Amino acid sequence: MLARCVLERLPELLLTTALACLLCALVALPVRGAETEVGPMPVVDLHVDLSYQANYRARPFARGLGQFVAADLIEAGVVGVVLPLFVPHDVSPSGPRLEDLDHSYARVFEWLDNTPPYRWPGCYPESGQAVRTWLAFEGSAPLGERPDLVRWWVARGVRFFGLVHAQDNRLASSSTGASGGAVGLTALGRRLVRQIHALGGIVDVSHASSATLRDVVELARQARVPVVATHSDAAALAPHPRNLADAELALIASTGGVVGINFHSRFLARGRSATLHDVVEHIRHVVRVAGAEHVGIGSDFEGGIRPPPGLETVRGFRPLARALVAAGLSVEDVRGIMSGNALRLLCPSPPFEGSSAGLVHANGRHRGEARSWKTP
């Protein structure tokens, strides 16, 4: 009798067991946006102003203002950083000069050589106990009359060339310049941008006016090379001349470029102090407009910024990564945002199609040239 009862109920028992197994399997699957406990993620910061703090504010290169401390980088997951050789506009009556760039470069190179865990500029193989570096210009006016020197600076490790800073110059108009951004690239600016593209460099449009940005994108498309905005945020969330409109975000993405999200409270929120959530929302907005593969981190640490609570130093990178995953971004996308997208621009393989000379870094056979401090 018992056997007959079991046989009659066997299909029902089998179905119940199958449903239970399926439910267990579904519960075990990762849910998008629920992986808040992410492992350590490598970080490449596209804009850190240590050179400015050390060269012009007499602060130690290893510590700066305490936002990007050398001793904290490995534990924070930092594997790379772009260091702009920023020269203040008031360094001379005529503004930054070639000798000022030489001076900044010479001192930064020596500091890198003597400050673990930094490495010399270039695309070395990754190491878990070293931080790769690249250099940048934040204002390239000294090169306006000497575009031939771009090759020299690329060999020294400069990857990004910002044409302007807070003021207009003879190359282009700034987003905060006196002209109001009414003009874009000048003839000198166009000549210099073409030379940068030809030698494998990338033009940085953070600080550029909308007109300048459009002109740079036009030339980049012709050369088939990307454009970068190393430290900018979304104007749709926080209107500010330094932030980028959605159309501008899309233009940068159309070149294959990257927008590095800035941690300055003033650029993240209007009329109040910013929070870590605001950084997450700016990243999510740029992801929606431009795509996750076109977003990076450009903290602007050591640049006199006021970062949100929790992001005051490099120790905030890991909480930021966890917050991005908790907000619904995939772990893969967050890895790209934290480092992968930046590395795609910094160390492309093969070099960008528009480059006739390929990429030259301050390593290998070019090391001797890179250590020569005086521009020819």
328-362 pLDDT per residue, tens: 999 999 999 999 999 999 999 876 544 433 333 44
Cα–Cα distance, 213 to 181 (Å, whole number)? 10
Domains within the chain, CATH numbers bracketed: 43-370 (3.20.20.140)
Of the chain, the end-to-end C-alpha distance in Å amounts to 102
- CB distance 198 to 172 below 8 Å: no
Beta-bridged to residue 121, according to DSSP, are 133
Cα–Cα distance, 319 to 228 (Å, whole number)? 25
pLDDT confidence of residue 368? 42
Residue 215 has pLDDT above 50, yes or no: yes
pLDDT confidence of residue 5? 44
Percent pLDDT > 70 in the chain is 83
Residue 102 has pLDDT above 90, yes or no: yes
Residue 14 has pLDDT above 70, yes or no: no
Residue 23 has pLDDT above 50, yes or no: no
pLDDT confidence of residue 124? 85
Residue pLDDT, tens place only, 119-129: 999 998 877 78
For the ranges 28-37, 60-69, 98-107, 161-170, the lowest mean pLDDT is seen at: 28-37
pLDDT confidence of residue 126? 76
pLDDT confidence of residue 358? 35
Closest CA to 162 of 292, 360, 298: 298
Mean pLDDT of the chain: 87
Residues in contact with 87: Cβ distance below 8 Å, sequence separation at least 6, in sequence order: 56, 96, 100, 101, 104, 139
pLDDT confidence of residue 352? 55
Over residues 20-28, the mean pLDDT reads 38
The model's pTM is 0.86
Residue 110 has pLDDT above 90, yes or no: yes
Cα–Cα distance, 111 to 53 (Å, whole number)? 12
Q: In the structure, what pLDDT confidence band is assigned to residue 227 with cuts at 50, 70 and 90?
A: very high
For the ranges 23-37, 77-91, 135-149, 292-306, the lowest mean pLDDT is seen at: 23-37
Residue 199 has pLDDT above 80, yes or no: yes
In the block, residue with structure tokens 């400069």: 158
